[in-house]
Structure 1
Amino acid sequence: MAKIRVKSNTGNLYFDFQYCKNRCREYTSLPDTKANRKKLEMIMERIQAEITLGAFQYGKYFPNSPMVQKLAEIEARQRPGYRETPLFKDFAKEWFSEMEPTWRKSTAETYWRYLKSRLIPHFGKMEVSQITKSDILKYRSNVAKQSDGKLKPKTINKFIKCLNMIMNEAADRFNFTPPHLNIKPLKEEKVHIDPFSIQEVNLILASVRPDWRDYLLVRFFTGMRTGEIDGLKWENVDFERREILVRETFSMGRWEYTKNDGSQREIEMSTLVFNCLKDRYKNRNKESDLVFYANNGSPVHTPNFLRRVWTPLLAYLKIKYRKPYQTRHTAATLWLAAGENPNWIAKQMGHSTTTMLFSVYARYVPNLTRKDGSAMERLLASNIDGFHGQGKKEDTEDTTITVSDEVDLNQAEAEESAFWDQFLNPGNPSHFGGTL
């Protein structure tokens, strides 16, 4: 029987009633007074009437009650055709164990972190088939609000992507419609690259200590990722074909497969890189199969490199700080500056198509390749009467990336070698770098 009772330790009133064969207690902050008791009794009468008529909605009266979710599950089980499905926490762990062998170690660690700290604490006690689109949207909204801007939309989208993969598999196994369909990801901030200019590259290579110069030179002129160059072995440097074979990476203290299949590639060595590695091979440490290594013979330790070489070097040269990954973007923009074929550049970078090349480096393409509308200007000048003298566009000096007249990355091999000889013999006594 429904009653309004008093909680002994607080003296506040609470509802006590039966619904769906469950005893429900909902507490209030109202003290036990005649007026408050009368008010709650009137509400209790309405609740009883709606229960009798089958129109009662628990969440309407007690929206923050944990009973809302519990009763929703009970009501779902009473629907025709209901099929019991596992709890999210159990299915998620099973899914993870099945998928783990297909991922890189770092990928598996990332997904497990999302499950353990984000998804299981929220969805863990819900059956997978009972998770709704509304549940996912509310979760995403709460994460965004609770982070107070500290989590970027890209990061939150990664949580939801992990959840979506789990729900897709659950829907396939237990034959229900995935709840995340038609949920658009949060709008992410556009990533802007910040490559080094050729003058900055020259200054860095001329100033860094000699034992780190080769490492940076190869990074600047091959577009290799950090893990790829740190994991480069001599067996994957083909001097005969003048190629660097990207086959594995060293990241977070372990050897792994490359980022994806497309990252397995052959990078053509320019004369500058070829000569650099050829000289390094002659003077190599024969006890190590690594091209670049720390003083103890182990692969380059990125945190040490950042702390003791990269960061102080840029500060010393008064060059704007960028992460070492910008050396990869620098290589791409210099290739574009030289007018190299976009398909060739994409292959060098490990991209399957040129789509990313033009989306990421779009603003470096027009001026640097001199295809900024001047071709149309010439066509109009040749074929349209009265065109001359009416605002004809003049070629302007490129200011996006300044490449000096002497630096023509598209010139003949002999000229290229002669010019880049300044890098191989900088003649600058002010070298900078730390010991690892």
Structure 2
Amino acid sequence: MGEVTKASILAARTKMAKRKGRGASGLMAPKTINSHMTILRMVMTEAAERFDFDSPYKNIKPLKQQKVHIEPFSLAEVDRICKYVREDYRIYYQLRFYTGMRTGEIDGLKWEHVDFERQEILVRETLINGETEYTKTDGSQREIPMFGPVYDALKTQYEATGKLSKFVFCNREGKPLDHNNVTKRVWYPLLELLKLQKRRPYQTRHTAATLLLASGENPEWVARVLGHSSTEMLFKVYSRYIPNVTRMDGSAFERLIRNRVTTKEEVCHEVE
């Protein structure tokens, strides 16, 4: 630990930024790099406290992250996708669009966490590298109501995989889906067939969020359904897609002014 310097930490971060990744540039995204560096910072902080020395990680600011760019599908596009997708993946994508579950959450969903009696999906685990583990955060532990066609869809899915696997969605061997394989073989070819803009499967989660909010649901409730700790993320990321709900289009202010002007004119007319 004593050999680690601030310069060596910055050099490691610079080297990491040149690795291949899933960022827009084809390299590791700043968010991913910051996540890795956070672990190092925590290790250095703990070591500094135990052995009484100044952590070299002091005053190293995280890399700036670009604003989250979302490209949700319209309800009409959702209908088209669910209509033309391969039959064996129709229910899978219905759940993605109507629940807003993360990829790891839906791929790791087990039948023991599907409560048909209360019509709820219990998010308790996430799938990482083929193995299920605790969700991303404590806030990700939640119950999702079976919206719209989800209840009937899961009943149908149970007939297909309920006795084959502990996982709701699985391959022929009963093992969980490989999301990279599904994306390349099912998702992208479908978007190309429908002549829709190429978008990552995670946009299904953004789509669910925008549809829930645009329908007039309470933002705090929507945040809980999506597994967010607060509504801050909702208003920060989705406000431009739901102007009437978030009052970010100026319409509320315009109505106030119009009412004010109308009232003033009525008063003047009465005085005359």
Verify the 8 A CA contact 1:337 1:369 in the aligned structure 2: no
Aligned residues: 260
Of 337, 340, 360, which aligns to 2:237?
360
The percent identity for this pair of structures is 55
- Quote how far apart the aligned CAs of 1:302 are: 1.6
Shift in CA distance, 258/177, structure 1 to aligned 2, threshold 3 Å: same
2:53 matched to which residue of 1?
176
Cα deviation code 1:316-371 (max 9, x no counterpart): 11111111111111100111110111111111111111112222223223246666
Is 1:242 aligned with 2:122? Answer: no
Shift in CA distance, 234/157, structure 1 to aligned 2, threshold 3 Å: closer
2:174 matched to which residue of 1?
297
Is 1:190 aligned with 2:67? Answer: yes
Q: Which amino acid aligns with 1:205?
A: C
2:210 matched to which residue of 1?
333
How far apart, in 1, do the equivalents of 2:75 and 2:17 lie? 43
2:108 matched to which residue of 1?
231
Whose RCO is larger (CA < 8 A, sep 6+)? 2
* Higher mean C-alpha displacement, 150-159 vs 234-243: 150-159
How far apart, in 2, do the equivalents of 1:141 and 1:235 lie? 42
1:323 matched to which residue of 2?
200
Q: Which amino acid aligns with 2:31?
A: K
Is 1:280 aligned with 2:157? Answer: yes
- Quote how far apart the aligned CAs of 1:140 are: 5.6
How far apart, in 2, do the equivalents of 1:199 and 1:234 lie? 30
How far apart, in 1, do the equivalents of 2:31 and 2:113 lie? 35
Verify the 8 A CA contact 1:381 1:387 in the aligned structure 2: no
Cα deviation code 1:400-421 (max 9, x no counterpart): xxxxxxxxxxxxxxxxxxxxxx
How far apart, in 2, do the equivalents of 1:301 and 1:212 lie? 13
- How do 1:412-423 and structure 2 match up within 5 A? none
Q: Counterpart of 2:242 in 1: which secondary structure?
A: helix
Shift in CA distance, 379/368, structure 1 to aligned 2, threshold 3 Å: closer
How far apart, in 2, do the equivalents of 1:180 and 1:304 lie? 39
1:55 matched to which residue of 2?
none
Is 1:217 aligned with 2:89? Answer: no
How far apart, in 2, do the equivalents of 1:251 and 1:136 lie? 28
Cα deviation code 1:58-100 (max 9, x no counterpart): xxxxxxxxxxxxxxxxxxxxxxxxxxxxxx3xxxxxxxxxxxx
Shift in CA distance, 136/237, structure 1 to aligned 2, threshold 3 Å: closer
Unaligned runs of 5+ in 2: 266-272
Shift in CA distance, 160/281, structure 1 to aligned 2, threshold 3 Å: closer
Unaligned runs of 5+ in 1: 1-87, 89-126, 389-436
The CA RMSD over aligned residues, in Å, is 2.7
Structure with max Cα Rg: 1
How far apart, in 1, do the equivalents of 2:76 and 2:61 lie? 43
How far apart, in 2, do the equivalents of 1:135 and 1:299 lie? 40
Q: Which amino acid aligns with 1:143?
A: K
Q: Which amino acid aligns with 2:214?
A: A
Verify the 8 A CA contact 2:18 2:28 in the aligned structure 1: no
2:226 matched to which residue of 1?
349
- How do 1:100-139 and structure 2 match up within 5 A? 127-128=2-3, 131-137=4-10, 139=11
How far apart, in 2, do the equivalents of 1:142 and 1:278 lie? 50
Verify the 8 A CA contact 1:380 1:387 in the aligned structure 2: no
- Quote how far apart the aligned CAs of 1:142 are: 5.1
How far apart, in 2, do the equivalents of 1:237 and 1:206 lie? 24
Is 1:308 aligned with 2:180? Answer: no
Q: Counterpart of 1:271 in 2: which secondary structure?
A: coil
Shift in CA distance, 223/378, structure 1 to aligned 2, threshold 3 Å: same
- Quote how far apart the aligned CAs of 1:146 are: 6.5
Q: Counterpart of 1:276 in 2: which secondary structure?
A: helix
Of 149, 159, 167, which aligns to 2:44?
167
Shift in CA distance, 147/249, structure 1 to aligned 2, threshold 3 Å: closer
Verify the 8 A CA contact 1:249 1:258 in the aligned structure 2: yes
Verify the 8 A CA contact 2:123 2:142 in the aligned structure 1: yes
Cα deviation code 1:202-248 (max 9, x no counterpart): 11111112221111001100011112111212221112221100111
With normalisation by structure 2, the TM-score equals 0.84
Shift in CA distance, 147/250, structure 1 to aligned 2, threshold 3 Å: closer
With normalisation by structure 1, the TM-score equals 0.54
How far apart, in 2, do the equivalents of 1:146 and 1:293 lie? 35
Is 1:143 aligned with 2:15? Answer: yes
